[in-house]
Amino acid sequence: MIRTKKKGAIVNEHYDEHEHASAAERAERQAGQLREMIMRGCEKSRRLKAIIDERGIVPSDIRSVADIENLPVISREELVEMQIAEPPYGGLADPSSEIDRIFISPGPVYEPHLSERDPLWARAFFAAGIRRGDVVLNAFSYHMVAAGLTFHGGLRRVGATVVPSGTSGSQIQVQLIRDLRVSAYAGTPSFLLAIIKKAEEMGHDFRRDFRLRRACFAAEPLAPALRRTFEEDYDLDTYQMYGATEVGDCAFECSAKAGWHICEEVLVEIVDPLTGKKTAPGALGEVVVTRFNPIFFLLRFGTGDLSRISEAPCPCGRTSSRLDGIAGRIGEAVKVRGLFVAPSQLRRIAERYEGVRFQVVVSRSAHEDVLTVRMEMKEIPADKGILEEDFRRYFKEACTVSVDRLEFLAPGTLGDKDKVIIDERIWT
């Protein structure tokens, strides 16, 4: 039931006053949730209590996320090791809690999930415009992993009818979309493209013969070119959703598609993967997530993904911070003057300059990092100064780091197998 609240905001249980709170209100609420989770965790988990005590943290004194910055970031690999040493949950769960579902992901990692009352993915589907009356093909696996059932639950919470197709073959998916008059899709972008191509092989005109007009993607990047194909060629309104099986849903796109709103049920930090400390505002770092959870006390889970946070206002009215997509994984990126530069950021830049190839080279001069961009194009324009100025500006906007040198290369210099980023620095 949708109702109107103060300031004219349209809200319901999946689009509520929390999404319209001020930064101060949100920080105060989340600090209280964090404090409550840690206090309960110290009562129920010997492992968590030992971690907290070792760092001299007094749970009742926690007033902000800064108060847990000295806690270790727990990677997936470390969580696996903890669960092997102390099965099944690494000593991080309340053994007396009633656990509704246990999911398993490769490793293995055992994930005790909250009940079906938990709002997993509901905010994301609501933001994507899915409502009662929609028939949604859920093409995520319903096996031991969390995706199928948790997405199913989110769809049902916004009132949609779910077709639990899972990973059935593309021909069966086409039949379901046609016969059941499916209006929306949840799954990976590559699988939807395979379904569309199969429909075309079967003689269908996808836009004319089917009602499917919305698509919600997760678990796989949505390349800008593929998004354009979906939206321009097949009239699909596409939305990206981001999460991890260990912590559930984390962020989602709204209709403005200007970044991913961070869910109200999680605390997201962007940290330097080497130190675990918060990065400078707008800088790239690892996405670290704490889900407010009364039964599984996984604090500061390191996703291994690289992103940055935007605080700019969103036209949709939600006031949460937003993730600027995923720039890559730790190990793919190179740190330049204290800031990460990732290959995916460079691919995004390349899409702006048609017919241009470029390569980033990082070197050292007098103990300082030097970032050189080698640019190749079929023909160097007469007004290359305008191009250079625009490129430098956009590069800094996309990567935060400034270009020190820009070199123009002869056509054919860069090959398809050449690295996008070369780090020539020698550390002694």
Residue given tokens 């596409």 in the structure block: 238
What is the share, in percent, of the chain residues with pLDDT greater than 70? 96
Task: Give burial (CB, 10 Å; 0-12/13-18/19+) of 96.
Answer: exposed
Strands of 368-377's sheet, edge to edge? 405-409, 368-377, 356-365, 421-423
**pLDDT mean across residues, the chain:** 90
The mean pLDDT value for 294-316 works out to 94
Average pLDDT over residues 223-234: 94
* Structural element, H or E, at residue 199: helix 189-201
pLDDT score at 12:
61
Q: Who has greater pLDDT, 428 or 113?
A: 113
**Domain residue ranges in the chain:** 334-423
Rg (C-alpha) for the chain, rounded Å, is 23
Judged on CB neighbours under 10 Å (0-12, 13-18, 19+), 275 is exposed
The burial of 11, by beta-carbon neighbours within 10 Å (0-12 exposed, 13-18 middle, 19 or more buried), is given as middle
Q: What is the pLDDT of residue 185?
A: 98
Q: In the predicted model, is pLDDT for residue 339 greater than 90?
A: no
> Which residues lie closer than 8 Å to 160 by C-beta, 6 or more apart?
125, 130, 131, 132, 133, 134, 135, 136, 184
Place of tokens 């609240």: 5
Q: Is the pLDDT of residue 7 over 50?
A: no
Task: Supply the pLDDT for residue 144.
Answer: 82
For residues 368-385, give the mean pLDDT. 86
- Residue 6 reports pLDDT greater than 50: no
By the 10 Å C-beta count (0-12 exposed, 13-18 middle, 19+ buried), 121 is classed as buried
Q: Which uninterrupted H or E stretch holds 194?
A: helix 189-201
Assign a CATH topology to domain 334-423. GMP Synthetase; Chain A, domain 3 (3.30.300)
241-278 per-position pLDDT tens digit? 999 989 999 999 999 999 999 999 999 999 999 899 99
Contact yes or no for 42/48 (Cβ under 8 A):
yes
Q: How far apart are CA 222 and CA 190, in angstroms?
A: 8
> Can you give the length of the chain in residues?
428
> Helix, strand, or coil here: 409?
strand
pLDDT of res. 356: 87
Comparing 293 with 365, the larger pLDDT belongs to 293
**For residues 59-83, average pLDDT:** 92
Beta bridge partners of 240: 217
**pLDDT tier at 82, thresholds 50, 70, 90:** very high
| Alpha-carbon gap, residue 155 to 132, rounded angstroms | 9
pLDDT above 80 for 293: yes
Q: What pLDDT, on the 0 to 100 scale, is given for residue 338?
A: 66
| Angle value at C-alpha 404, between 401 and 405, nearest 5 degrees | 135
What is the separation of C-alpha 263 from the centre of its chain, rounded to a whole number of angstroms?
Answer: 11
What is the CB-side half-sphere exposure of residue 267 using CA atoms within 13 A?
A: 25
Amino acid 92: pLDDT: 96
Give the pLDDT confidence of 140-158 residue by residue, as tens digits: 988 888 889 999 999 999 9
In the structure, what pLDDT confidence band is assigned to residue 4 with cuts at 50, 70 and 90?
A: very low
Poorest-pLDDT segment among 40-49, 149-158, 297-306, 417-426 = 417-426
Q: What are phi and psi of 22, to 5 degrees?
A: -75, 165
Q: What is the pLDDT of residue 223?
A: 86
Note the pLDDT tens digit of each residue in 174-212. Answer: 999 999 999 999 999 999 999 999 999 999 999 999 999
pTM confidence score? 0.80
List Cβ neighbours of 214 (8 Å cut-off, separation of 6 or more).
128, 129, 130, 134, 183, 184, 185, 236, 237, 238, 239
Assess whether pLDDT exceeds 60 at residue 237.
yes
C-alpha to C-alpha distance for 99 and 190, rounded to whole angstroms? 34
Could you give the 3-state DSSP secondary structure of residue 319? coil
Percentage of the chain exceeding pLDDT 90? 66
